[in-house]
Structure 1
Amino acid sequence: MIPFTLLLYLPLLVSKPPHTAFPAWAQVQWQQQKLEQTFSRNNYLRTALLQADFNGDGKVDVAIPVVWRATGSQGVIIFHQGQAAPFMIGTTSNPTDELPKGNLAWANQWKLFTKQKTYEVYLDKQETLRERPVTLRYPAIEFSDGEKGGVLYWTGTRYRWLYQSC
């Protein structure tokens, strides 16, 4: 039997699910960019969206999982509040080697990463697997399949991908 005093505090102990409604300002960007013609929203990452101030401007941004209609490629679109153009990751061949190319279908989970320090896995000149520390100034997004993964973070001017082992 549960003590009466614990019953009084039980509602405080149960955490509420994260707010997952697509914000109106992001919906406006989605429509203005006519993204529905190219992408469909999809919950392949088991969470409808992530919200945080990804770029450190003091405004809450939003990331949503999407599928590129032409190829079925899975990716993510990140909307920065107050900016017209969203960032598309993993749905096409990205213009830089610092982002994952192609398809994020390998990832089956994502979550906010709020630690200020993480580690990047890389191969040195002798092709030995190494790690180096990376300092993060803003919340990032961690992708994983349970064995491999990475962290997508804002550098202050662009998004960068850190390869990691889980």
Structure 2
Amino acid sequence: MYFGTHSSVAEDWTLQMTRNWKRKTLQFGVAVLVIASICLAQQIQVENIPDEVLVDVQTGTFERSYALNGHINPFYLRGDFDGDGKADYAFAVISKKDKTKGIGIWLSSQKRVLVLGAGHPFEYAVLITKDMNFDVWKVYGKREVEQGVTKAHPQKLVGEAILVGKSESASGLVYWTGKAFTWYQQGD
């Protein structure tokens, strides 16, 4: 009987160790999948961006000064921001120098990237700031702009605009005046 009890204890111990090993292996596997998915989410896919634009964004002064911000989805927008009938591209960017955020806009008419914020002063949400801390954005079609929260009258858009905002907070339009990009406050 002593021998049988010892065997039963050994079997229980082995069974318990096997269960613990399986549980820890499963937890480790889940952790690896979570980490992998986070890493993949941070990778920026640039397949749909024309080579001409990529060269300007991924080389030279722009590349030395800025990184594309993969924390915003989508990290880029395509629209006709200057009204010339050709595609322009806006990128969420981060300054490598001071980690401030902003928008880099590649205009097909100028063949270069104009940076708003990300270390450059820009009138944003009723302040002049070097850090455009936004977490949502989308292309705003060329149409009549409704009255915003300020007394300023809405401008007639030359091209499409970029609706930029902070979740559950303020929003505004970044639009081309024909000479520069400017801000029109939409919501509070």
> 1:91-106 alignment to 2 at 5 Å?
91-94=118-121, 97=123, 100-105=128-133
Q: How many residues align?
A: 139
Partner in structure 2 of residue 113 of structure 1: 140
Answer 1 or 2: which has greater helix percent.
2
Could you give the per-residue CA deviations for residues 92-136 of structure 1, whole angstroms, max 9, x where no partner exists? 232x6589521112x1100000151223433xxxxxxx3533321
Q: Percent identity?
A: 25
Partners in 1 of 2:163 and 2:135 — Cα distance?
A: 11
Partner in structure 2 of residue 81 of structure 1: 108
Partner in structure 1 of residue 10 of structure 2: none
**Structure with the larger RCO, 1 or 2 (CA within 8 Å, 6+ apart):** 1
Unaligned runs of 5+ in 2: 1-45
Q: Does 1:39 pair with 2:60? A: no
Task: Answer yes or no: is the 8 Å Cα contact 1:100–1:161 preserved in 2.
Answer: no
TM-score between the two structures when normalised by the length of structure 2: 0.65
Q: Does 1:26 pair with 2:53? A: yes
**CA-atom RMSD, angstroms?**
2.4
TM-score between the two structures when normalised by the length of structure 1: 0.73
Answer 1 or 2: which has greater strand percent.
1
Unaligned runs of 5+ in 1: 1-18, 123-129
Q: Does 1:137 pair with 2:164? A: no
Runs of 4+ in 1 over 3 A off after TM superposition: 96-100
Greater Rg over alpha carbons, structure: 2
Task: Answer yes or no: is the 8 Å Cα contact 1:65–1:74 preserved in 2.
Answer: yes
